[in-house]
Amino acid sequence: MYRAGIDLGGTNIKAGIVDEQQHIIAEASVPTNVERPYQDIIRDMAELVKTLLKQKGIGETQLKSIGIGSPGTIDAVHGVVLYSNNFGWENVPLTEQLRQYFSCPIAVSNDANCAALGEVKAGAARHAKNAILLTLGTGVGGGIILDGKVFEGAHAGGAELGHTSLICGGEPCTCGRKGCVEAYVSATALIRDAKRAAQQYPESSLNAMCEGDLSHMNGKIPFDAAQDGDTAAEKVVNDYICYLGETITNFVNIFRPDIVLLSGGICNQGKKLTEPLETYIQDKCFGGSKAFIPKVACAVLGNKAGIIGAANLISGKER
């Protein structure tokens, strides 16, 4: 039997057919063109899956389930995208629409939840049953896996780990509050802080590495400059690791998962990121050495996590 996973992104719709060993045996994508009516986007999702099935000679009776990872606030019980800012969607009945094309069970969840489930099923957390994933990108998404299943809150709008306080009253967050985790540990926040440091310290190599144009700043530059011994960059990196360490400590104190995963471009830093974080949380987590301290690791599946996770939503949903 096979499962289909769909990763609905702002740029592309990606779909894959996943086998029982959690391998993606076929994969394709089409542009999302978000400005279209949602019915057209959902029809394209269906066609993408049908094409992949045909390509591999798999009949629809061999398709056990379809899952979709979608941005936005999801009502997973009813399969509705309640709200997605990027898509301009409100109350889009995603699973109901897709059911016109398929007879197997269909589920939808937030994209960060799907990525977390994918890493637990086949990636960096595949020996774990309880994991927290933080996606460190433009924003910060959160995925919570408890007992091998996605936990998205009792009602719609849960698992928004990026929208919990780090420094209440601090940097403005996209959600309207001030001082959320997202406003300190997203790639956007790291870039903002690196730009500020570059402006404050004109002699910092942060400026040279941007060729004097701070719009070239990215999440790699402060790490590179710190590696070269630039003091301003070192402070940016140390502060960032401190923010991320406090964030992880918070979620460990709540969930005590087997493992905490990070994803996003920042993970290219590898152990330069995870080792100081592990040291940090050992020192800070409640109960210290008396309580369990999880590993901190980088996600390994990249974009495939979303597809594999989405494909496993049905089996991974019921508690």
Which residues make up the interface to a second copy (CB under 8 A)?
73, 82-83, 90, 129-130, 142, 144, 146-147, 151, 153-161, 163-170, 175-177, 179, 243, 246-247, 249-250, 252-258, 284-288, 290-292, 294, 319
Q: Which is nearer to a second copy, 142 or 219 (CB)?
A: 142
Residue closer to a second copy (CB basis): 208 or 291: 291
> Buried (b) or exposed (e) across 157-182, using 16+ Cβ within 10 A?
ebbbbbbbebeeeeeebbeebebbbb
Cβ of residue 199: shortest distance to a second copy, in angstroms?
23
Helix axes 304-311, 111-122, angle to 10 degrees: 90
CB half-sphere exposure, 61, CA atoms < 13 A: 0
Q: Is 48 exposed, middle or buried (0-12, 13-18, 19+ CB in 10 A)?
A: buried
Of 93 and 157, CB closest to a second copy: 157
Distance CA 16, CA 130 (A): 25
| Nearer to a second copy among residue 130 and residue 207 (C-beta) | 130
Minimal distance, residue 94 CB to a second copy, in Å = 15
Q: Token pair 């949602």 is at which residue? A: 38
- Cβ neighbours of residue 222 closer than 8 Å, sequence gap 6 or more: 190, 193, 194, 197, 206, 233, 236, 237, 240
Task: In angstroms, give the least distance from the CB of 176 to a second copy.
Answer: 7
- State the nearest-atom distance from the C-beta of 70 to a second copy, in Å: 14
Closest CA to 8 of 310, 243, 249, 217: 310
Closest CB to a second copy among 15 and 144? 144
Least CB distance to a second copy at residue 49 (A): 28
The residues, ordered by sequence, that sit 6+ positions from 171 with a Cβ below 8 Å of its Cβ are: 178, 179, 183, 184, 189, 192
Residue whose CB is less far from a second copy, 24 or 108 = 108
Q: How far apart are CA 164 and CA 255, in angstroms?
A: 14
- For residue 65, what are the CA distances in angstroms to 17, 49, 60, 102, 103? 10, 11, 10, 9, 9
Minimum distance of a second copy from residue 212's CB (angstroms): 33
> Shortest approach of a second copy to residue 163 CB, angstroms?
4
Q: Which is nearer to a second copy, 80 or 299 (CB)?
A: 80
Q: Which CB sits closer to a second copy, 228 or 283?
A: 283
**From CA 95, how far away is CA 76, in angstroms rounded?**
9
CA–CA distance, 305 with 32 (Å, rounded to integer): 19
Q: State the minimum distance, in angstroms, from the CB of residue 40 to a second copy.
A: 23
The CA distances from residue 141 to 30, 137, 289, in Å, are 24, 8, 29
